[in-house]
Amino acid sequence: MNTNIKEFYLDLNPFQLLENSHRTFPETLILILYLILLSVFIYRILIFIIEKAKPPADLTHEYNRRKIIRTSYIAFCIFVYLPIFFSSLESLPTLIGFAGAGFVISLKEYWLSMIGWIFILGKDGFKVGDRIEIQGIKGDVVDIGFLRFTLLEVALDSRVEQSTNRLIHFPNYLVVNEKFFLVTEAMDFVWDEFRLQLEYGSNWRKAEEICDEVLTKELVQNPEEVEEKIKEVSKNYLVRMGATTPIVYTTIEEGYIQLSLRYLTPIRSKRTNRTLLSREILRRFENEDSLRFKK
């Protein structure tokens, strides 16, 4: 009984497995498991020490630092462990056979994801913080990995543009096979438009004047800032925005007068700006008896 226990202990002892240059395939798998557990343990201690010694300035800094440390640590572990994995020549053909079978099964998606990762990092791709829409899902990019990227979902309702607080993972090969829409930090503003409907007989000139004043004087995107961002984007793309100043369109519809307010706004402030503009317009309309909303 004691002999069996001793043999069992020797079979599972990681130091014994390391010393054994004629490991079987199951013994190699057990050794790999030991090394993975050791690597995870060391990584967690390393992160703990680094963050205690030098706390991150903000979430972005913490994310970027962890990303660099994790990638470097994985590369280091692969470099150190590969000779150990293949030190037993007896198991090498078996390992190569298993690896080859796995590559044959998943070759297409794997290589496409690699190509997608390279595309994402290129000038026509995107980075963490950009907002994209792909496969009918819109969100802010919060992580870009070697095989997949992650979005923090944003409601598709164009009037809202607010987070649903759901993380959605996409394989990188989708950026190769699918079209996607991108709003970068370099040009993070969009056109927004909302409409007011007035009864016939209302003083539309006064309503147009009020709306124009509110759009011009309130918190709408600064034209100088817009022009500066257009110049920056134009270094890589031929962008012609035309007029960037806000405007009010007045049209006659069936049964009412419609005022359409069109203006540029940062995409992440879209709902806030619309709310503030609406409140100011309502406040100004309250003092005008000649202005009546369509019921």
Place of tokens 């309309």: 285
Q: What's the confidence (pLDDT) of residue 280?
A: 87
Residue length of the chain = 295
pLDDT score for 2: 44
What is residue 5's predicted lDDT score, i.e. its pLDDT? 47
Report the distance separating Cα 236 and Cα 123, nearest Å: 8
Highest mean pLDDT among 67-71, 97-101, 162-166, 172-176: 172-176
Residues 6+ apart with CB under 8 A from 140: 129, 130, 131, 151, 152, 154, 163
Helix (H, G, I), strand (E, B) or coil at 268: helix
What's the gap between Cα 79 and its chain centre? 30
The helix or strand, by DSSP H or E, that contains position 263, with its residue range, turns out to be strand 256-266
What average pLDDT score do residues 256-273 get? 84
Separation CA 131–CA 151 (nearest Å): 8
Please work out, in degrees rounded to the nearest 5, the angle formed at the alpha carbon of residue 223 by the alpha carbons of 257 and 249. 10
Backbone angles phi, psi at 170, to 5 degrees: -130, 135
Of the two residues 186 and 165, the one the predictor is more confident about is 165
Which of 51-55, 228-232, 277-281 is predicted with the least confidence, judged by mean pLDDT? Answer: 228-232
Q: Give residue 8's pLDDT band: very low, low, confident or very high (50, 70, 90).
A: very low
Separation CA 270–CA 188 (nearest Å): 11
**Residue-range domains of the chain with CATH:** 2-90 (no CATH), 102-183 (2.30.30.60), 188-286 (3.30.70.100)
In the block, tokens 């509110």 appear at: 214
Q: Are 207 and 196 in contact (CB under 8 A)?
A: yes
Give 201-214 pLDDT, tens digit per residue.
888 888 888 888 88
CA distances from 125 to 122, 141, 148, 240 (A): 5, 12, 14, 21
Is the confidence at residue 104, as pLDDT, over 80?
no
Distance CA 143, CA 242 (A): 34
Task: Return the closest-CA partner of residue 15 out of 27, 3, 4, 5.
Answer: 27
Ramachandran bin of 242, using left for φ above 0, alpha for ψ from -120 to 50, beta for the remaining angles = left
Sheet of strand 256-266: strand arrangement: 189-198, 256-266, 247-253
What are the structure tokens assigned to 263, written together?
Answer: 């203006």
Instruction: Using DSSP bridges, classify how beta strands 256-266 and 131-134 pair: parallel, antiparallel or unpaired.
Output: unpaired
pLDDT at 20: 66
Nearest Cα neighbor of 66 from 75, 78, 56 is 56
Query: Would you call 100 exposed, middle or buried from its count of C-beta atoms within 10 A (0-12, 13-18, 19+)?
Result: exposed
Q: Walk across the sheet containing 131-134 and list its strands.
A: 163-171, 148-154, 137-144, 131-134, 180-183
* pLDDT at 62 > cutoff 70: yes
Question: Which has the higher per-residue pLDDT, 64 or 259?
Answer: 259
**H or E segment at 13?**
none
